[in-house]
Structure 1
């Protein structure tokens, strides 16, 4: 993102590690800061001007089974590694 930071609204809950950003004018989700890897971001690629979404692999996820704990997380990712 190059401009428009002043037009973003952020949504956070619980631990406040994850932050979801939306356009304050139209409400579209633009990107989020990840909970389990807060130095990584998820981006709504449909907000990008020159990008072919079919050019990247897709991984299906099931929200009910998701966890902040990832025992296989890369070492450079901060975040929970185990329960307890």
Structure 2
């Protein structure tokens, strides 16, 4: 097996695991407060507000003011702007 094939296999495994965790979180409905999300991203809450203003792909809080963990994981895996 070539290095390229090994990398492709590893990426496919990571994608499957990410999808499984996302599905589990959607099923469980785990939600994060703004402070929990800031802690997860290792930023201050004010920085999180700035990130929300800049990154339109970033998950938005629900009517309860909390973020769906499944959306956060998907954004971290596929859509987060650096």
TM range (shorter): under 0.3
- Normalised to the residue count of structure 2, the TM-score between the two structures is 0.22
Q: TM-score scaled to structure 1, two decimals?
A: 0.21
Structure number with higher helix proportion: 2
Higher strand fraction: Structure 1 or Structure 2? Answer: 1
Higher RCO, 1 or 2 (CA under 8 Å, sep at least 6)?
2
